[in-house]
Amino acid sequence: MTGRQNNIVIIFFLACILPSIPAWSQNVENVDRAFEQARELAFDGQREDARALCDAILEISPDYHGVRILKARTYSWDREYGNARSELQYVLERDPRHRDALSALIDTELWSENYGEALQIARLATGYYSLDESLLIKLATAYNYLDRQTETLNVLNQIESINPSNREAISFRRSIQTASQNYSFTASFTNDSFSEVFDAWNTGYLQLSRGTPYGSVIGRVNLANRFDVTGLQPEIDIYPSIADGWYGYLNVGFTTSSIFPRSRYGAEIHRRLPWGMEASAGVRHLRFTASTVTIFTGSLTKYYGNWMFSGRPYITPSDVGVSRSLSLLARRYFNDADNYLTVRGGFGFSPEERTFQQDVGDIFLLQSRFVGIDGYKSLRFNFLLFLSADLTRQELRFDPGAYISRLTFNTGFVYRF
């Protein structure tokens, strides 16, 4: 290839790639306008592009501290805490009292679980800005992570003396009070109405939960009236804490009633994962008078901001084949973990729906499709109220291929003490 041909190839290559090179790779003419663009990129999730634009701005104005703090925050959001600290230390070496740099550095240390360092920086920051409610919240958070409850409450008192209506401080105090309440009592009532064939069913349960240093223990008594038969089934759930990032689930229940499985067992192990995710795998075993059913299950959950998304499959082997089902949900939290709204749906039969757990085994091979919505709302005096509604299309056990509709309403309350 001649030199002239080489030049043509190079020119053609540059012509192809230059349009795709971001504008900020060239000279930044207006640093303030570029900073706004970098902010937009960062909050739109394009953090690498945002950092590239920040670098272009800092080439022109290396002490444009707002730009460097934005760059540091994008590093923290990507869990690159060391890079975030370096950028923030640059700012604080030149301006030790820079409020936004101190705030960002506290967040970096909190998110990296370096709570002792976060506390020291928060003390320093609130020494400079003693009436800054946001910095005081961060100070209370650091104390709380270090299990220093007296100091946490003292800081919340300080915030409320400045602004009695500070919602973040009020919610923070409520969460501390909730964490100190080891017992909860729950009462629930459910009504199922059917489009045909069946009369209405009524079910409910009473439940007592106790939090311990080793995990929660829950005792429950299920009560149901179906087919003109009333039955009880006591059971117990245990959520043992196994190790850092690991916890389990164990369940056992017995009854002599024909409208529940004669016995039920369950076990599952949960693992917290990076990137706000959690996964689990487990098994359920139900024994009926004439048969047994084993169900394999698990879950994959993603937390994103105020949202939780989760999916759970159920796989039930049997002599005549394998029954599969899947349930999905999206949950939006408001203020705290006690206030949320959930939308869910799925197909196949979910073994966790106790309404169909009669003393027969083949019911688990039937098909269904469902959609539902539920909500939890915290009230005064340590009460929580919950409501839900579900619409299900369920195949009939004695008439395969025929479906009926079931409308389910559930309500109840939780009292913590």
Task: Identify the three-state secondary structure at position 396.
Answer: strand
The whole-number pLDDT of residue 13 equals 45
- Alpha-carbon distance of 89 to 370, in angstroms, equals 54
Question: Strand, coil or helix: what is 380?
Answer: coil
DSSP string, 240-257: EEEETTEEEEEEEEE---
The label of the residue with tokens 């005096």 reads 381
Instruction: Please name which of 235, 209, 210 lies closest in space to residue 222, comparing C-alpha atoms.
Output: 235
Is the domain of 237 the same as that of 361? yes
pLDDT top residue among 380 and 328: 328
pLDDT of residue 227: 79
Q: What whole-number percentage of the chain has pLDDT above 90?
A: 60
DSSP 348: S
Same-domain status, 104 and 122:
no
Amino acid at 109: E
Residue scoring higher pLDDT (180 or 12): 180
Q: Which pLDDT does position 352 carry in this prediction?
A: 42
Q: Which residue has the tokens 């709302």?
A: 377
Amino acid sitting at position 237:
D
pLDDT at 21: 39
Residue with tokens 């994008």: 74
Residue 199 has pLDDT above 80, yes or no: yes
- Over residues 393-411, the mean pLDDT reads 82
If pLDDT is split at 50, 70 and 90, which confidence band does 167 have? confident
The verdict on residue 4 lying in a domain is: no
5 occurs within a structural domain? no
The confidence band for 228, taking pLDDT boundaries of 50, 70 and 90, is: confident
Token pair belonging to 379: 């009230």
Among the listed ranges 189-203, 324-338, 357-371, 388-402, which one has the minimum average pLDDT value? Answer: 357-371
Strands of 16-81 (E only): list them.
Answer: none
**Three-state DSSP state, 239:** strand
Supply the DSSP symbol for 19: G
Q: What's the CA gap between 340 and 335, in Å, rounded?
A: 9
CA nearest to 99, candidates 141, 62, 136, 71: 136
- Position 184: which residue type? S
107 with 117, same domain: the answer is no
| 49 class by beta-carbon count within 10 Å (0-12 exposed, 13-18 middle, 19+ buried) | middle
With a CB cutoff of 8 Å and minimum separation 6, the contacts of 242 are 248, 269
Number of domains in the chain: 3
Domain boundary among 77, 112, 147: 112
In the predicted structure, residue 3 carries a pLDDT above the cut 70: no
Per the structure block, which two tokens stand in for 222?
Answer: 């299920």
What does the alpha-carbon distance between residue 417 and residue 415 come to, in Å, rounded to a whole number? 7
Token look-up 């539920």 returns 374
Structure confidence at residue 217 (pLDDT): 95
- Do residue 166 and residue 217 come from a single domain? no
Query: When comparing pLDDT for 213 and 50, which is higher?
Result: 50
Residues 308 and 277 in one domain: yes
- CATH for 298: 2.40.160
Q: Does some domain include residue 324?
A: yes
* Planar angle of CA 299, 300, 304, nearest 5 degrees: 140
Reported as a pLDDT band with limits 50, 70 and 90, residue 2 is low
Is 14 domain-assigned? no
Residues 344 and 380 in one domain: yes
Residues 6+ apart with CB under 8 A from 39: 50, 70
Task: Mean pLDDT check: name the lowest of 224-238, 256-270, 331-345, 391-405.
Answer: 391-405
Instruction: Report the 10 Å Cβ neighbour count for 337.
Output: 12
| pLDDT > 80? residue 118 | yes
Question: Last residue of a domain, which of 112, 131, 160?
Answer: 112
User: 381 and 352: one domain?
Assistant: yes
- pLDDT at position 337, please? 81
Could you read off the pLDDT of 277-334 as tens digits, one per residue?
999 999 999 888 777 889 999 999 999 888 999 999 999 887 777 888 899 999 999 8
Tell the residue number behind the tokens 């229940």, with chain if given. 253
- Alpha-carbon distance 274 to 153, whole Å? 31
- Residues 160, 81 share a domain: no
Retrieve residue 16's tokens: 């192809």
State how far the Cα of 406 lies from the Cα of 413, in Å rounded to an integer: 23
Q: Is 205 within the bounds of a domain?
A: yes
Higher pLDDT: 177 or 299? It is 299
Give residue 41's pLDDT: 93
89 & 226 share domain: no
Domain of 126, CATH number, reads 1.25.40.10
- In the Cβ-directed half-sphere of 316, how many Cα atoms lie within 13 Å? 25
CA distances from 105 to 19, 89, 125, 274 (A): 37, 9, 10, 21
Residue 60, strand partner residues: none
Residue-level pLDDT at 27: 59
Same structural domain, 149 and 61: no
Q: According to the model, what pLDDT value does residue 1 have?
A: 53
Q: Is the pLDDT of residue 354 over 50?
A: no
Indicate whether 9 belongs to any domain.
Answer: no
- Domain of residue 152 covers 113-180
Residue 15 lies in a domain: no
Q: Tell whether 42 and 80 lie within a shared domain.
A: yes
Separation between Cα atoms, residue 313 and residue 299, nearest integer Å: 7
- 238 and 175 assigned to the same domain: no
DSSP designation for 114: -
Segments of 261-382 assigned E as strands: 263-273, 277-287, 292-304, 307-318, 321-334, 336-347, 368-378
Q: Which among 112, 127, 159 is the end of a domain?
A: 112
> Does residue 7 fall inside a structural domain?
no
